[in-house]
Structure 1
Amino acid sequence: AYFLDLCDELGLYVLDELTGWQHHYDEGVGAPLVEALVERDVNHPSILFWDNGNEGGWNTALDDDFAQYDPQRRAVLHPWTTFSGVDTSHYQTYSSTASKAAGPAIFMPTEFLHGLYDGGAGAGLNDYWKLMGGSQRSAGGFIWALVDESVVRDDRGGALDTNGSRAPDGILGPFREKEGSFFTIKDIWSPVQLASPAYYDSVFPASFDKTVKLVNRYDFTNLRTCRFTWQLLAFPLPGAGPGHQVLSQGQAAAPDVAPGATGAVTLGLPADWTGADALRLSVTDPAGRDVSSWTWRVRKAPDFAARLVKPATTGSVTATETTTDVTLVAGATRVTIGKSSGRLTGVRRGSTPVSLANGPAPAGGAATLTAFSHFRDGTGWVVQADYSGDLTSVRWRLDANGWLRLEYRYRATGDHDHLGVNFDYPETNVRGLTWLGDGPYRVYKNRLRGVQPHVWSKPYNDTATGASGFAYPEFKGYHARTCWAVLDTTEGAVTVVAAEEGLFLRLFTPATGPDPQNAVATYPAGGISLLDGIAPIGNKFHGVASLGPESRPNAATGDYYRTVHFRFDA
């Protein structure tokens, strides 16, 4: 009853269920249960429907019993089928969802996008929700499930037992830890949405006119009753820790936007707003609760690269060549490139080895070395490698100040899970990561919403989402729109700086729980990858081929080019 009191207060919509899963109650048992259920809950306005069982667990002889005790005669549903004019079919593919949303019945799946092991739930939701939201016959849907229903096993030393892939796996951990899909769902299902898909890119739009166009998805609330605040942010540089500094802030006049309508909020930013690193806009509802927030980077990746990577003005680099490699030395930094591959084969910082190696190797396809050369370049030294195949060229340049620049080009057309290059690095040496990029959670190609640009920090963990570890955010996986990252290792700090926008930083391959079925994503070889395209993840019941456009492979368009800077510090 207390839960339903909260639903009444918060305005949540409830389906009140006569419990039963894939098997129904006999009429003699079920009739008194219906009576008790309805008489207990009948006065809660949050209840829109009664559910006669769950997933096939209904007895049609009980359907007319609900109205005997409900003067409103609310509709009765049979979850997993069509009844009372409402199609509640579970776990539809993207194409079958399109068909049902265009069908004669109201479509409202009482379960969809199963959240097993981080697949489903938020992954794929953006496509499904656009499809469902664009249909007048769609009434929304219910994601399974909210919470990981794990049991503490005293006979296993207090280990959390999720019963493999059979127990509910939600967007909250067993102690209500928020997983990445929690924030994706919060973003997509927020009642205040950005009107243009382009505004969901965390890079600030070039056409920005100090107004933000919004869609009001509230059913009853005008946006003029909400509160809109903005902040201009400055991000710390590597070594200064995570977070941000608020340069200035203010409140924008709430726009008069009726439920279902589109409008715009005028921010009233100061004249010097373009000097900030980022702009954040936050919305709270009439009760002061957080509804939505968006952060856009004013500064782009090349701006941060120019701020961090300064060319040397003095000093020089020495080079030595053997039959197998070329070694470049700048102060305490020593870099070795293999002559037969053009790949990094060794790094040392003073007497300490840094185990980054065997890259850049193409994340897909092959490369055959066709030419290799090296030469002095001002205060630095260049190693040039050319290839036939998918990787076309690699140029290394060590500067006298210890910055190592990598420029690489590759060619790809057609569909690919991964676009970019890989390196090897031993996972056992890693202690943590601090980075400027979208976070703090990892992403997939079909789950890019719910993360925001910031300077984030997280320690290493080996969590298998929903199965073991239960440390969130997970350390391993794909990280979106990375500007710079500092990998904390037992060998010192490895700094990576992107000179162009849109870099996905891949860190190792995440563990997966037992029997994941289709709830898997693919990862390239190596341990650390610099990528232009990443893979989607499937869900328990559907592989990525059965999901929407965001779950399709990356459609490669030809030639790709990137510059990435490395630094190795004690």
Structure 2
Amino acid sequence: MISKKILYLLIALGFSVQLYPQKTKVVHLSGTDAANTVEWDFYCTDGQNSKKWSKIAVPSNWELQGFGTYNYGHDWKNKDKKLGLEHGLYKHTFTVPENWKGKTINIVFDGSMTDTKVKINGKSAGTTHQGGFTRFKYDISKLLKYGQTNLLEVDVAKQSENESINRAERQADFWIFGGIYRPVFLEILPKIHVTRAAIDAKADGALKVLIAVNNPKLNYSVTVHLYDLKGNKIHTEHLGYLKKGNSEEIFSTKFNNIKSWNPEWPTLYDITFELKHENSVLHEVTKRIGFRTIELRQHDGFYINEEKVIFKGVNRHSFWPETGRSLSEENHLEDIRLMKEMNMNAVRMSHYVPDKRFLELCDSLGIFVLNEVTGWQDGYDTLVGPKMIKEVVLKDENHPSVIIWAHGNEGGWNFANEKWIHYWDIQKRPVIYPWLLRNGVDTSHYPEYNYATGRLVSGIDPFMATELLHGLYDGGLGAGLDEYWRNYQTSPLFAGGFLWAFSDEAVLRTDKPGHVLDGDGHHAPDGILGPHREKEASFYTIKEVWSPVQISPVTINKEWNGTLILNNKFIYTNLSQCSFNWKTLKTEIGSNEKQIVGTGHILGPDTAPGTASKIKLDCRKALQDADIFEFTAKDHNGKELYTWSWPIVQPDKKATELLRLISNTAKEISIKELDGTISASANGVQIVFNKKDGTLHSVKNSKGEISITGGAVPAGSTAQITDTKWGKDEDGNFRFEILGDNYPERIIWKFHRTGLLQIEASPLQKKMEGIDYIGISFDYPEDKCIGVRWMGRGPYRVWRNRIKGSNFGVWEKQYNNTVTGETFNNLIYPEFKGYHGNLYWARLKTTETPFTIISETPNLYFQLFRPKEPEHASSKVSPLFPMGNLSFLYEIPAIGTKFKEPSKLGPKSQKGFYSGRPGDENYPIKLWLDFRAEN
């Protein structure tokens, strides 16, 4: 019981007496996220739908609601672009219960772009808040009418009166929006309350907590309770006292039997602090935390819980096409799930702090976070910078996922402000400067492949590119990643990298007819994913390269003994905690039917992180009647890490199946010569050749014409025809031979009595350098092609430096004209056109009769038409294609990034080279073309 003397004292001091625990209560005035909004009154001063009161969803960016002016951050440099200088005026009424009187009521804005003035019942709530990405609050207890309706008025200016904010936030390489785009809520606190509970929870269970109170006029005690997420109490302890006159105090303790937090095992706890006076609990605060220890060891690297970390990360903007930077729960969940699916363990917040909910999900699902103070390529001044830093740290300080602070980006910093990060952060997390070698970390952006020579080899600091392989359209990202990763991992100083960027930032233009999606030319289509998270090819390349289980190179055929070497690239997980499956498949030429011949399941071997183990699969019998072997690795949650696949047989063996099936359909061949052509007909197929050069003139079957023409012609070389000859061979098949003075020196057509057409182009013999592509080509009208089914690598197209992620199998896709990173309103993946790897056979579905092409040549690339180039593409991301649109090639080109030509991205990104010796038994290009009407 509280004595009368103390009771009178508290009343005299103006305090209400709380006999029961008082928890913080939150009441939203806006919606909780972009999917759950509340309408407020709204007036826009300029641009779309301006100068009239209407309604707007809150939270939102007003441009996406049809107001104001759209701007990309570079627009300020363009005198022809109108810069949005509008204000948004908001009004909203709300009721406050009578029984809230005597409590502390804060109004909290999680994000408002950018200068924001707040009034309650016509009176200012406080000074104008500046900066568009941080949480801010006002104590409005004395401005409220309790038991009555209250009026909230907010004036949001799109541009700031502080020029350093405009330079840091508004003149950046991203879309510039306006509005209250994150939730607005009331925070109801007891009269005496905890204003801050900053927690430093170490992996060994050690706990340090800073407790701050709003009114230090009494002695307060602090008690801690720790719970697991099932609500089981693990520990209770009295931590100590906040003595009268002290507004804050640091307490320490240690918990036993704690499970640490990491991205592979993201164990979380609920921790509650009770602020007491005598026996009364005045305020109870609960936080969700994880125990983990962060170290940046000089000249070594980052260690989390005593384990050295290599970050496999990506740069993520808070962005959705229809809602801008105002996001939903599902937006956050989807982004993190996609990162985890790509086997990423880290994300960089580019270039501002994210929603609170995003970090909560990173905590629970397991992702390392580099949290960034805004500043694209210019920093805050020393007036607003310390305020921004305080707001960043205090909002996000207790998230276990946040392990590094990034202070601006590419020059977007003010070194004088750095001291405030550790002033506020009791964890003293590492502070990096993305782009610089500073504070013991080299974060240089967009290194070339050989950059390691200057930094990793001769340097002594951990190297971690906070922007790596800048994507643009279909370039970068997956292209070159495998070699970069293999090369950089040879150094003990390699700390990982963060790809630029997660998704294309194409925004819905409510100000344009048709409400199109706009990526601002080549500025925003940088993603691994499309704007609605459509998976581009690089998604799967990254997934394979960054899989925490890697398989040492192996040849799989019918004689394989079943041995695989598994390399454990996890940081905290033993492979014994994983599981593995395999299966063998039998296929039929031209069909997408696959028969499962054999399957198997094994538990993971005892293999610690950073080591390898040999396993042996009992699959020898299952290999004998199969074409494809698949192997799947799953983590301890059953999530697929990757599924690898290999051909069991070579293409020439698969081609013999076709010959066996139709060998009994042979007919006599009839030959007919005209002035410039010669035709051969058998079994319902007529082939007409050009006498002069041996190219196809026309093809017909019993159902009509097939429009393949113009082949075979050299692709990647120039050859003059020196001789042609034709006639029947000893088996009665028609044979047409073409000789040339360069590759291919010999092409032999053979039209079989079965109606099959065979072509053989002589193998590479002469030395060749600087090859973009080399092989043979044909023409077929693109407008007559409606789909393709094929056996080979797929389902996505490949480049020379992006083979991984395309698995061997039987695939099918319909014709589309997707231009990666540009045709946002009609993105269909996989793209139809481009290069495809390791062709065995392909069946083209057409408006005419479908036809089938079968390869006997190992590792042959297949070009399926020529993709349309994006409007703003440069040569770096515009690889060359042969003149023909159906090509069969030994070599194809690599693709570059936004800033780097392919030649800067490593050995596999170089142009091709061939050198042989007399007597080499190289592989010619050997194809079968099946034009039969019933094929």
Q: State the TM-score bracket (shorter-chain normalisation).
A: over 0.9
Query: Does residue 436 of the first structure (1) align with residue 791 of the second (2)?
Result: yes
Aligned AA (2:434): P
Query: Does residue 287 of the first structure (1) align with residue 637 of the second (2)?
Result: yes
Tell me which of 14, 28, 32 is aligned to 2:383.
28
Aligned AA (1:81): L
Tell me which of 673, 698, 706 is aligned to 1:354.
706
Query: 2:174 aligns to what?
Result: none
How far apart in 2 are the matches of 1:379 and 1:80? Answer: 70
Aligned length: 563
**CA shift digits 1:67-114 (9 cap, x unpaired):** 122222111111111111111111111122342222122111110101
Aligned counterparts, 1:114-153, within 5 A: 114-153=470-509
**CA shift digits 1:5-54 (9 cap, x unpaired):** 23223332211001221011122212122112112211222222101112
How far apart in 2 are the matches of 1:123 and 1:270? Answer: 35
Query: Does residue 390 of the first structure (1) align with residue 743 of the second (2)?
Result: yes
Query: Does residue 335 of the first structure (1) align with residue 659 of the second (2)?
Result: no
Aligned counterparts, 1:414-433, within 5 A: 414-415=768-769, 416-433=771-788
Query: 1:539 aligns to what?
Result: 897
Aligned counterparts, 1:128-527, within 5 A: 128-154=484-510, 155-196=512-553, 199=554, 204=556, 208-238=560-590, 240=591, 242=592, 244-269=594-619, 271-310=621-660, 312-313=663-664, 314-350=666-702, 352-377=704-729, 378-411=731-764, 412-415=766-769, 416-468=771-823, 469-517=826-874, 518-527=876-885
Query: Does residue 557 of the first structure (1) align with residue 915 of the second (2)?
Result: yes
Is the Cα–Cα contact under 8 Å of residues 173 and 466 in structure 1 kept in the other structure? yes
Is the Cα–Cα contact under 8 Å of residues 557 and 623 in structure 2 kept in the other structure? no
How far apart in 1 are the matches of 2:829 and 2:521? Answer: 19
Query: 2:156 aligns to what?
Result: none
Is the Cα–Cα contact under 8 Å of residues 144 and 168 in structure 1 kept in the other structure? no
**CA shift digits 1:368-391 (9 cap, x unpaired):** 222222222324211122222222
Aligned AA (2:477): A
Change (3 A) 1:22 1:51: same
Cα RMSD for the two superposed structures:
1.7
**CA shift digits 1:537-570 (9 cap, x unpaired):** 1111011121200001111234651210001144
**CA shift digits 1:453-509 (9 cap, x unpaired):** 111000111111111142110001100001000011112112100012111000111
How far apart in 2 are the matches of 1:403 and 1:97? Answer: 53
Query: 2:293 aligns to what?
Result: none
How far apart in 1 are the matches of 2:656 and 2:628? Answer: 17
How far apart in 1 are the matches of 2:622 and 2:773? Answer: 40
**CA shift digits 1:102-147 (9 cap, x unpaired):** 2122111110101101110000111111111111111010000011
Deviates more, 1:345-354 or 1:502-511: 345-354
Tell me which of 464, 481, 490 is aligned to 1:108.
464
Is the Cα–Cα contact under 8 Å of residues 51 and 76 in structure 1 kept in the other structure? yes
**CA shift digits 1:170-196 (9 cap, x unpaired):** 111111111100000010011111123
Aligned AA (1:20): G
Q: TM-score, normalization: structure 2?
A: 0.59
Aligned AA (1:260): G
Is the Cα–Cα contact under 8 Å of residues 342 and 369 in structure 1 kept in the other structure? no
Query: 2:109 aligns to what?
Result: none
How far apart in 2 are the matches of 1:312 and 1:368? Answer: 36
Aligned AA (2:627): D
Is the Cα–Cα contact under 8 Å of residues 252 and 266 in structure 1 kept in the other structure? no
Aligned AA (2:630): R
Post-superposition offset of 1:209: 2.0
How far apart in 2 are the matches of 1:251 and 1:523? Answer: 43
Query: 2:302 aligns to what?
Result: none
Is the Cα–Cα contact under 8 Å of residues 506 and 517 in structure 2 kept in the other structure? yes
How far apart in 2 are the matches of 1:156 and 1:504? Answer: 42
How far apart in 2 are the matches of 1:340 and 1:288? Answer: 62
Query: Does residue 45 of the first structure (1) align with residue 400 of the second (2)?
Result: yes
Tell me which of 8, 11, 25 is aligned to 2:366.
11
Query: Does residue 69 of the first structure (1) align with residue 420 of the second (2)?
Result: no
Aligned AA (1:566): L
Name the SS of the counterpart of 2:797 in structure 1.
coil
Query: Structure with the greater relative contact order (CA < 8 A, sep ≥ 6): 1 or 2?
Result: 1
Is the Cα–Cα contact under 8 Å of residues 558 and 624 in structure 2 kept in the other structure? no
Aligned AA (1:545): S
How far apart in 1 are the matches of 2:551 and 2:763? Answer: 35
Is the Cα–Cα contact under 8 Å of residues 18 and 52 in structure 1 kept in the other structure? yes
Query: Does residue 567 of the first structure (1) align with residue 930 of the second (2)?
Result: yes
How far apart in 1 are the matches of 2:425 and 2:366? Answer: 20
Deviates more, 1:435-444 or 1:284-293: 284-293
Name the SS of the counterpart of 2:725 in structure 1.
strand
**CA shift digits 1:370-418 (9 cap, x unpaired):** 2222222324211122222222111111112211001111544222111
**CA shift digits 1:403-460 (9 cap, x unpaired):** 1001111544222111101111111111010001110000000000001111100011
How far apart in 1 are the matches of 2:621 and 2:883? Answer: 48
Uncovered stretches (5+) of structure 1, i.e. residues with no partner: none
Is the Cα–Cα contact under 8 Å of residues 345 and 357 in structure 1 kept in the other structure? yes
Is the Cα–Cα contact under 8 Å of residues 462 and 493 in structure 2 kept in the other structure? yes
Uncovered stretches (5+) of structure 2, i.e. residues with no partner: 1-355, 917-921
Post-superposition offset of 1:263: 1.0
Aligned AA (1:167): A
Name the SS of the counterpart of 2:915 in structure 1.
strand
Q: TM-score, normalization: structure 1?
A: 0.95
How far apart in 2 are the matches of 1:207 and 1:89? Answer: 48
